[in-house]
Copies of this chain bind each other. A is one copy, B any other.
Amino acid sequence: MHRRATMPNTNTIALDAMGGDQAPAMVVVGADTALKRYPGTKFLLFGDFTKCVKLLGRFPNLSETTEVIHTEETVSAEAKPSTALRRGQKTSMWLAINSVANGRADAVVSAGNTGALMAMSKLILKTLPGISRPAIAGIVPTRRSESVFLDLGANIDCGPENLVEFSFMGAILARAVLGVVRPTVGLLNVGAEEFKGKNELREVASTLSAADSFFEFLGFVEGDDLTAGTTDVVVTDGFTGNVALKAVEGVAQAYSDFLRRSLSSSFTARLGAFLARPAFRSLSEKVDPRRHNGAMFVGLNGIAVKSHGGTDALGFSNAIGVAIDIVQQGVNERIIGELSGLNPDNRG
């Protein structure tokens, strides 16, 4: 688990009760799990009033700290971001994000449509001063521990200035969420010796090398460094990041499935698997996507966290934990501070 030990808090988290395959049940159960881990948290629950209240009936502690705001509409998983923007003002997603903009909540968590959530968040929350474009950052398990990986798909084409900003934001996240005091940062590229690599990445590398910053820039890393955990932060454009993350998730899933099938193929294999089950459990936990659930939208003037749409209550509770960590660590204030220090002339 990447969650740091936290103290009781009084943060208010807005939840989109209607986003995700198993919503609203997994949202409510997930909130109850998160409340146990982060006592004192308050929730604003945006969704169908009757359903939400009925679910809350099973959790007296959560009920006490949760306000339900009835919403009529839901953003469908298939909706285009542009359509959701035009017609989505009454949806649970929109209103949950809006509660961050108007100061009622400190952060929003949704397991709904990613594109719609990013589009609405950009429109409603706006970007932070000094940031040209927000990014999506995830926490990936590595051989060493965990790393922050961004951008996971918000920006298909990125200029050098975007990648520089991503590096700073990623390093601040690593410090806040992973608790690394002086995070190392790597820029994803192809083998420097074999081929020339991307030209624009050399420009980014020279800017980052020159910056006298709180993080340590280690230069270029390659695809396998993602799992090796060579750096605490891995920076790339949203196209490469999205493809690499999904490729990695695909292999982990395939590996688990193949092993499970092989281990039930004979009586001896099943017996062996039974005896070795603590070992398998330890592996499953390490790669369990629910433990790493919660992609952070960074660079927005407000905290928004995206949960996997297919996750369950445990996974959703971890996404809530990510949101609380980011709030408590003052990530956005740090981003503003670091980036205004980096280049004070041309920043707002």
Distance of A37 Cα from B240 Cα, bound (Å): 39
Number of chain copies forming the complex: 2
B196 touches A156 (CB 8 A): yes
Residue tally, chain A, CB below 8 Å to B: 70
Which of B188, B194, B238, B247 sits near A223, CB closer than 8 Å? B247
B269 touches A246 (CB 8 A): no
B242 touches A244 (CB 8 A): no
Find chain B residues with CB under 8 A from A211 CB: none
CB 8 Å contact bits of A234-266 with B (1 = contact, 0 = none): 001011101111111111111101110011011
Which of B77, B154, B254 sits near A227, CB closer than 8 Å? B254
Contacts A222-B246, A245-B223, A247-B224 given; indicate if A283 touches B254 (C-beta within 8 A).
no
**A–B complex contacts, Cβ < 8 Å, 9 sampled:** A143-B258, A153-B190, A156-B197, A188-B243, A226-B250, A240-B240, A243-B243, A262-B282, A272-B276
Q: Which residues of A contact B (CB under 8 A)?
A: 77-78, 80-81, 113-115, 142-143, 153-154, 156-157, 188, 190-191, 193-198, 222-228, 236, 238-240, 242-255, 257-259, 262-263, 265-266, 268-269, 271-280, 282-283, 286-287
